[in-house]
Amino acid sequence: MEYYTWVLTFHIMAMMSWMAMLFYQPRLYVYHTEHQNKKEFVDVVKIQELKMYKYIGVPAMWATIISGAIMLYLNPYLLSSQAGGWMHAKLFFALLLVIYSFSLGYYRKKLEKDDYERSGNFFRAYNEIPTILSLFIVAYVITKTFSLLFTVITLVVGSFIVYKVYKQKEKKVS
């Protein structure tokens, strides 16, 4: 436990860097998609997408996962039944963030090849997902409890927000 606080500090810093990518990468995809007819602009955005994903997001994700695993090794009580199950819920939503992160890599590769299968509105709505998932993670960590009511309400409200963002009218690009 001597090093636990240092590992936790590193874990939080890595998570903040990873979340920065998760929040900004889909926004780059919105710009890329909505300005696809402006080659010079798209070429710059492609570079930003690559650097944000490959050099910030992926290393920060792995640093978050590894430091989290070390913390669980140092404090296995967190996974015990006496801890209340909140860590299991947190890990489930963290796994969804990992899957989301890899999906951003998938979309980056598609856009890199000028394959525009998704709209700007799709990426605007997709951009809300890490906010919803991080809400669960932060709530479970702070309260050290799992609340089914909180989870259901957040999923319903979050789904409604994503739907409304997706259904908004496409913006005209000049």
Contacts of 4 (CB under 8 A, 6+ apart): 71, 74, 75
Contacts of 133 (CB under 8 A, 6+ apart): 93, 96, 97, 100
Report which DSSP code applies to 172. P
Is 39 a known ligand-binding residue?
A: no
Give the pair of three-digit tokens for residue 150: 């909180």
What is the rounded radius of gyration, in angstroms, for the C-alpha atoms of the chain? 18
Cβ atoms of 46 and 125 closer than 8 Å: no
Task: Please report, in angstroms and rounded to a whole number, the separation of the first and last CA atoms in the chain.
Answer: 58
For residues 138 and 86, what is the distance between their CA atoms, to the nearest angstrom? 11
Is 11 a known ligand-binding residue?
A: yes
For residues 88 and 30, what is the distance between their CA atoms, to the nearest angstrom? 33
Annotated binding site: 11, 90
Binding-site members for heme are 11, 90
